[in-house]
């Protein structure tokens, strides 16, 4: 299947609109779940982090399943955790098309999607329905003498961000709304202040703004959940080294459960793609292979600052088992990817997990 996917990608998908191709591929993944869910489960070295048990280190980063419509189908492909979102307090269409672009020469993607999603209320209702179905299926499976592997789902992360139309002075209330609605369904919760595609969002990474935001989200999550939901923050690779360390210090001071490093970059340095093509694409966050070195540097700096206890999730430019091992060696407890999944196809999670041993 790997070779067949590469031929499909190189000769068909690269000739189609990237956003259309994403939706078509995701529909196929969801439609194929009755088959993929009955394949042998992807097994790797279990990871205990944030009080949660992960079947292995590899998960799917936020951005692929923005609206919580294919969590279990993605888990069936081999992802041990799936992070949905980014979800905003209010529904929004995102930026106008075209807003997603491939750079095949760099095995990279540029996006300026702009947090297009159905909004926290709709996503929360979808997660509530998923929980009801899973509870019902577990009871049904139990009456037939044992649960099926079809029921085993991934650890669920929920990534929340700011609604574009909400002014910056109201950002905390916007995040609180998403937290109130979504935290009850999350295995862990992520505050995203690092996408380059929402005006003013990255300003919230400044510690004087980030501290009250994270404290408010923590308090709101605790008010609306029966047990403590782990809270993480996702940061950009474009922060200076000093700012990375400042966020690390803040995370320790606030008692956060973890940091996700890193989001997409606004840098275009060192690309192999034609500069004219890159210039024509314009603004947006770059993901994929070009992020590997910087994301690893940030991970190493974070681990050196926060010590051994805090959970760190490495994301950005992880394509091969060697990349995955290097990120773990730099200090990551868990890994996430997205762009390599697009380029390498549905068997890619199994390749990475198998390569980790």
Catalytic residue among 143, 170, 194, 195: 195
- CB half-sphere exposure, 203, CA atoms < 13 A: 8
Annotated binding-site residue numbers: 62-66, 86, 111-115, 159, 192, 197, 234, 262-264, 288, 317, 338-339
Annotated binding-site residue numbers for substrate: 66, 111-115, 192, 197, 263-264
The H helix count followed by the E strand count for the chain is 13, 13
Question: How far apart are alpha carbons 125 and 122 in whole angstroms?
Answer: 5
CB atoms within 10 A of CB 234: 26
In terms of DSSP H, where are the helices of the chain? 2-11, 18-31, 33-36, 71-76, 120-143, 171-182, 207-223, 241-254, 275-281, 292-306, 321-329, 339-344, 348-356
Annotated binding-site residue numbers for FMN: 62-66, 86, 159, 192, 234, 262, 288, 317, 338-339
Residue 195 annotated in active site: yes
**Catalytic positions, written as ranges:** 195
């Amino acid at each position: 299947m790997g070779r067949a996917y590469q031929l499909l990608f190189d000769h068909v998908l690269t000739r189609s609109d990237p956003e259309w191709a994403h939706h078509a591929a995701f529909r196929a993944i969801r439609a194929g779940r009755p088959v993929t869910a009955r394949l042998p489960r992807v097994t790797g070295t279990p990871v205990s982090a944030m009080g949660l048990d992960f079947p292995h280190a590899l998960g799917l980063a936020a951005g692929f399943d923005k609206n919580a419509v294919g969590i279990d189908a993605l888990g069936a492909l081999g992802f041990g955790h799936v992070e949905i979102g980014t979800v905003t307090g209010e529904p929004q269409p995102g930026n106008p098309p075209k807003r997603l672009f491939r750079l095949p020469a760099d095995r990279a993607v540029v996006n300026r999607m702009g947090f297009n999603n159905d909004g926290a209320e709709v996503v929360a209702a979808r997660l509530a329905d998923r929980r009801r179905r899973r509870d019902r299926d577990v009871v049904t499976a139990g009456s037939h003498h044992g649960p099926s592997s079809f029921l085993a789902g991934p650890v669920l992360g929920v990534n929340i961000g700011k609604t574009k139309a909400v002014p910056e002075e109201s950002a905390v209330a916007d995040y609180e709304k998403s937290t109130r609605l979504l935290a009850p369904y999350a295995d862990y919760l992520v505050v995203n202040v690092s996408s380059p595609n929402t005006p003013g969002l990255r300003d919230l990474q400044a510690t004087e703004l980030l501290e009250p935001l994270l404290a408010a989200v923590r308090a709101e999550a605790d008010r609306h959940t029966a047990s403590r939901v782990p809270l993480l923050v996702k940061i950009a690779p474009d922060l200076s080294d000093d700012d990375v360390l400042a966020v690390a210090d803040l995370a320790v001071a606030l008692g956060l459960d973890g940091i996700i490093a890193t989001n997409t970059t606004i840098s275009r340095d060192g690309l192999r793609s034609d500069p004219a093509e890159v210039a024509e694409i314009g603004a947006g966050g770059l993901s994929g292979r070009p992020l590997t070195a910087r994301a690893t540097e940030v991970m190493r700096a974070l681990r050196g600052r926060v010590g051994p206890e805090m959970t760190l999730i490495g994301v950005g430019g992880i394509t091969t088992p060697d990349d995955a091992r290097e990120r773990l060696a730099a200090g990551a407890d868990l890994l996430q990817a997205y762009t390599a999944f697009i380029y390498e196809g549905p068997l890619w999670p199994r390749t990475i997990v198998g390569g980790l041993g």
